[in-house]
Amino acid sequence: MMAKGKTRYVCQACGAVAARWAGQCAECKEWNTLAEEAAPVFTPFAAKQSLQTGGRRIAMESLADDVALPPRLSTGIAELDRALGGGLVPGSVTLIGGDPGIGKSTLLLQAAGRMARGGKAVAYVSGEEAADQVRLRARRLGLAKADVALAAETNVRDILTTLGSQPTGPALLVIDSIQTMHSDTLEGAPGTVSQVRASAQELIRFAKLSGCALVIVGHVTKDGQLAGPRVLEHMVDTVLYFEGERSHQYRILRAVKNRFGGTDEIGVFAMGADGLEEVPNPSSLFLTNRQDGASVTGAVVFPALEGTRPVLCEIQALVVRVPSGATPRRAVVGWDSGRLAMLLAVLEARCGLGFGGHEVYLNVAGGLRIADPAADLAVACALVSALTDRPLPADGVAFGEVALSGELRGAGLAALRLKEAAKLGFGRAWVPDGTGGGGPMQVAMFRTLNQLVDTLGRPD
């Protein structure tokens, strides 16, 4: 039992501790996230005792010393290895976050199966599903014969006692998910911040000591945060997010933290009947219906950058005239609605194109969500084409940032975007001044949005 009366309130979103309950967390301002938890008992520590004596002397090393690069363990899934920065590092801890049902368990079971086939010892612990459920899924994925040690268990002590008593530990340990695990060293239901933290600490200690690569699954709440354990992000070496629309088949695995590599690589997958398939050439996924070369009004292709990887996608705009007096709707899927409002204002103020009497709908085809600021110019092209009812050439792409002044700003890695577009058969590009030529591409450069509108044509 904890010392009585020692209760504290811990925010389940950010981990902040408060002495009294409140409706709102004082740290992260979330509502109704404070939950009562027993406070840990601290060993009393003499406040005046100096820490400058009594310790062990440690050897300070030179920053310039030679380093051995961490060895990498391939997961057998190239897109996963890519997002990890080249594979799993033995003794490291990776957190995979994502919405329920997005495919985290499927991905990790596939990786576990492939690594087992490659001769590695692999343990998969599911706290969410019964062993039979996992077995059924493995069968569906064609992995029934893979030599993966499976357990349906939630008690961390039992899990680690079992793994620790084996002569050789696993090379890969998957914990699915951390929210179902509990440590008997403290009270509290699984999923609370203190349980998640304590369970993770024990698992991480095991990984560091045994040298196994630990992969932890963490669920995300609907507002996009790792449920409860944002604290967990600080404790692990690598954080990957698995994202995508459940109604679409593609999934993107994105690194948001990586102590052993960059965070600019993504892995792309498509969810199919036999599990997740790798998509080495993502552009093909988002442009599937454009192969006939027919041009449509209001559509243009945007070479987006996902990390350092170009991904071509189609931007679609629809503009519908409404009776005067009615407030026109603006609806956006896959892009920021504030950004659309800004772009419409620039088109009106700097180019004299009024959308006030029109409803405006904008869609990024394929369910991709675009955060790349260079999408401005592509969206502008789609809007102008929709408003004037004139199609853009089907072999054209557009990218660049639009400033409030109407001036165009260059986009990052322009050469890479042009190269990818050329590779997929596009022949021309509308881009900001100074972007430079793109090999076989015919590149039209503009200083302002107004100049581009003059070229595309104004409404009759």
Tokens in use for 192? Answer: 């609370």
**Which one of ligand TYD, Mg ion, none interacts with residue 274, CB within 5 to 8 A by kind?**
ligand TYD
Q: Specify whether the CB–CB gap between 212 and 169 falls below 8 A.
A: yes
Under 8 Å CB-to-CB from 216, ≥6 apart: which residues? 93, 94, 95, 96, 175, 177, 178, 200, 203, 232, 236
274 versus 389: smaller Cβ distance to ligand TYD: 274
Cβ proximity to Mg ion, 242 vs 399, nearer residue: 242
In the complex with ligand TYD, the residue whose CB is nearer, 143 or 378, is 143
Residue owning tokens 């039979």: 132
Q: Kindly determine how many residues on this chain lie close enough to bind Mg ion according to the rule CB under 5 A.
A: 1
Report yes or no: 330 and 379 within 8 Å, Cβ to Cβ: no
Identify what 91 binds: Mg ion, ligand TYD, none; CB under 5 to 8 Å per kind: none
Do the Cβ atoms of 204 and 229 come closer than 8 Å? no
Residue the block writes with tokens 């997010």: 241
Q: What are phi and psi of 111, to 5 degrees?
A: -65, -45
State which residue, 105 or 283, has the beta carbon closest to ligand TYD: 105
- Residue 275, interface with ligand TYD (CB under 6 A)? yes
Say whether residue 197 binds ligand TYD (CB under 6 A): no
- From the list 222-230, 273-281, 367-375, 388-396, the region that binds ligand TYD by CB under 6 A is 273-281
**Among Mg ion, ligand TYD, none, residue 102 binds (CB under 5-8 Å by kind):** ligand TYD
SS3 342: helix
Nearest distance from C-beta of residue 293 to ligand TYD, angstroms: 32
Q: How far is the CB of 226 from Mg ion (least distance, A)?
A: 14
Minimum separation from the CB atom of position 179 to ligand TYD (A): 11
Give the chain's end-to-end CA distance (angstroms, integer). 80
Q: Which stretch binds ligand TYD (CB under 6 A): 97-105, 304-312, 352-360, 381-389?
A: 97-105
Shortest separation between residue 420's beta carbon and ligand TYD, angstroms: 28
Nearest approach, Cβ of residue 175 and Mg ion (Å)? 11
Q: How far is 235 from 107, CA to CA, in rounded Å?
A: 22
Q: Shortest Cβ distance from residue 115 to ligand TYD (Å)?
A: 17
According to the binding rule CB under 6 A, does residue 254 interact with ligand TYD? Answer: no
How far, in Å, CA of 28 to CA of 125, rounded?
33
Which 83-142 positions form the footprint of Mg ion (CB under 5 A)?
105
- Write the DSSP assignment of 244-267 as a string of letters: --TTSSEEEEEEEEETTS-S--EE
Token digits for 218?
């963490």
Letters for 99-138 (x = contact with ligand TYD by CB under 6 A, - = none) are -xxxxxxx------------------------------x-
* Interatomic CA distance for residues 185 and 199, integer angstroms: 9
* Residue whose C-alpha is closest to residue 253's, from 235, 265, 238: 265
**Which of 36, 274, 389, 454 forms a contact with ligand TYD (CB under 6 A)?**
274
Contact criterion met (CB below 8 Å) for 194 and 10: yes
- Contact between 98 and ligand TYD (CB under 6 A)? yes
Pick one of ligand TYD, Mg ion, none as the site partner of residue 67 (Cβ within 5 to 8 A by kind): none
Query: Does the N-terminal peptide bond of residue 283 adopt cis geometry, omega within 30 degrees of 0?
Result: no
Interface segment toward ligand TYD; rule CB under 6 A; list 18-26, 47-55, 269-277, 399-407? 269-277
User: By C-beta, is 105 or 183 nearer to Mg ion?
Assistant: 105
Q: Which does 51 bind (CB under 5 to 8 A by kind): ligand TYD, Mg ion, none?
A: none
Q: Is 273 in the site for ligand TYD (CB under 6 A)?
A: yes
User: In the beta sheet, which residues pair with residue 26?
Assistant: none
Q: Which of 150, 163, 164 is nearest to 108 (CA)?
A: 150
**In the complex, least distance from residue 128 CB atom to ligand TYD, rounded to whole angstroms:** 7
Tell me how far apart the alpha carbons of residues 159 and 173 are, in angstroms, rounded to a whole number: 11
Q: Which of 159, 223, 239, 226 is nearest to 193 (CA)?
A: 226
Size of the site for ligand TYD (CB under 6 A): 15
Distances in Å between the Cα of 260 and the Cα atoms of 209, 214, 232 are 18, 14, 17
Give min distance, CB of 140 to Mg ion, in A.
14
Contact positions toward Mg ion, by CB under 5 A?
A: 105
The contact set with ligand TYD (CB under 6 A) reads: 98, 100-106, 137, 140-141, 271, 273-275
